[in-house]
Structure 1
């Protein structure tokens, strides 16, 4: 895999895995045993850790109970000024868009002791529900293993893989309308449901076709099904 493909892979897999959790197909612990990385659940308001896999506890050198007690204070103790003042505000701004289909990739560091070399992780985060985020953090050399593990266990969706990068560029409203198109609703029906003008829906549809680089309604319906949010 190229470097670009490697960095695109974890967000794709996180999208799939979060759907399985919300569907009740798999638990946090079961998922943590499968993926080659650190699974963690963070509070949406301050990123405090509410769950982290055993491997994550070992790397951070805290028990889950200790991390829950420390809350967001743990970041002040062990992460760089850059991560806390630059990376996290950008992350929170993206989360603030309140788009459950948006996966946010970023790098973060962790330094347990001041005289130790910081450890860097590539993290992918997305909204799990109204109060929580779901994230997977990986060492760069393990990113490809995540892709292979998820595809082997849960299968591949060619439409999903083909359009993932284009889908990420769509606005929240465009994704919402795409979902209605996937239900074979007309522009008029969509305008009634969203309480917006039909001409506005038409403009959104034009943008959707352009961003997904297709002119076929049937293809849009396939894409909508591939990215359906539960």
Structure 2
């Protein structure tokens, strides 16, 4: 399994990196979908389906053409009535023009095999390449990282609100370096991955530490986690 596949298969799917790779043409939407071990779809702003991955088609007993034909009724058909506020939440999220944060919520989603609604972790991110959202949904009983993820989400909300402007001051390259650091890469590895010199990596790290007022790897990891880089 190559580096891209390893990241796509991790429990905490990094929609920010996926969006970046798609914009750069490193990978096609269909390739992303085929690697995903759970439901992944590209939605229009009204949450109608543009693309549904093979795993999603299998779990929902739908073909891609059938999913598209449902249009905006996809939410009505598969989301419990108590969860239809998600459409409004995502509409407001979309209007913020924020391409760095993700929206996460626990919803009840229909399991066609049992005709029951199951607690499901939904994560969505606005796409820079397409007009709409990338969305992942995974049953809570299959989310191995669920408790840690949910605890982190609650604690990070305030962290993100207080430090968003600081994080936004990072350049795109600095965000790339921060992401790779959080994923466990050292300076030589980052230099090779980004095709830059080790000296340049060191300078980026100094700039990151200065902007984030950080003097420890723990602080950098907290930023990376809070802003969904890992």
Q: Which has the higher contact order (CA 8 A, sep 6+)?
A: 1
Query: In 1, are the aligned partners of 2:41 and 2:134 still within 8 Å (CA)?
Result: yes
Matched, 1:107 2:99: no
Distance 2:111 2:144 in 1: 27
Q: CA deviation at 1:32?
A: 2.2
The alignment partner of 2:100 has SS state of coil
For residues 141-183 of structure 1, the C-alpha deviation after alignment (integer angstroms, 9 at most, x for no partner) is 44348xxxxxxxxxxxxxxxxxx98984467655443328959
CA drift at 1:30: 1.7
Unaligned ranges ≥5, structure 2 = 1-9, 146-155, 176-207
Q: Which residue of 2 aligns with 1:197?
A: none
Q: State how far apart, in whole Å, the 2-side matches of 1:126 and 1:58 are.
A: 23
The residue correspondences of 1:155-194 to structure 2 (distance < 5 A) are: 168-169=160-161, 174-179=166-171, 182=174
Aligned to 1:81: 81
Instruction: Report the secondary structure of 2:169's partner residue.
Output: helix
| Counterpart in the other structure of 1:28 | 29
Equivalent position SS for 1:62: coil
Q: How many residues align?
A: 170
Q: Distance in 1 between matches of 2:52 and 2:159?
A: 29
Which residue of structure 2 lines up, in the alignment, with residue 205 of structure 1? none
| Cα drift, residue 50 of structure 1 | 0.6
What CA distance in whole angstroms lies between the structure 2 residues aligned with 1:34 and 1:26? 11
Counterpart for residue 43 of structure 2: 42
CA, structure 1 residues 30+180, in 2 after alignment: closer, same or farther (shift >3 Å)? Answer: closer
What corresponds to 1:97 in structure 2? 96
TM-score normalized with structure 2 length: 0.58
Ranges in structure 1 where 5+ consecutive residues have no aligned partner: 1-8, 146-163, 184-207
Give the CA deviation at 1:63.
1.2
Q: TM-score, normalised by structure 1?
A: 0.58
Q: Distance in 2 between matches of 1:112 and 1:12?
A: 22
Moved over 6 A (4+): 164-167, 208-211
Equivalent-residue separation in structure 1 for 2:138 and 2:47 (angstroms): 18
Distance in structure 2 (CA, Å) of the matches to 1:181 and 1:14: 17
Query: Could you tell me how far 1:137 is from its partner in structure 2?
Result: 1.6
Structure 1: how far apart are the matches of 2:210 and 2:157? 13
Q: Secondary structure, in 3 states, of the residue corresponding to 1:118? A: strand
Q: What is the RMSD of the two structures over their aligned residues, measured on CA atoms?
A: 4.0
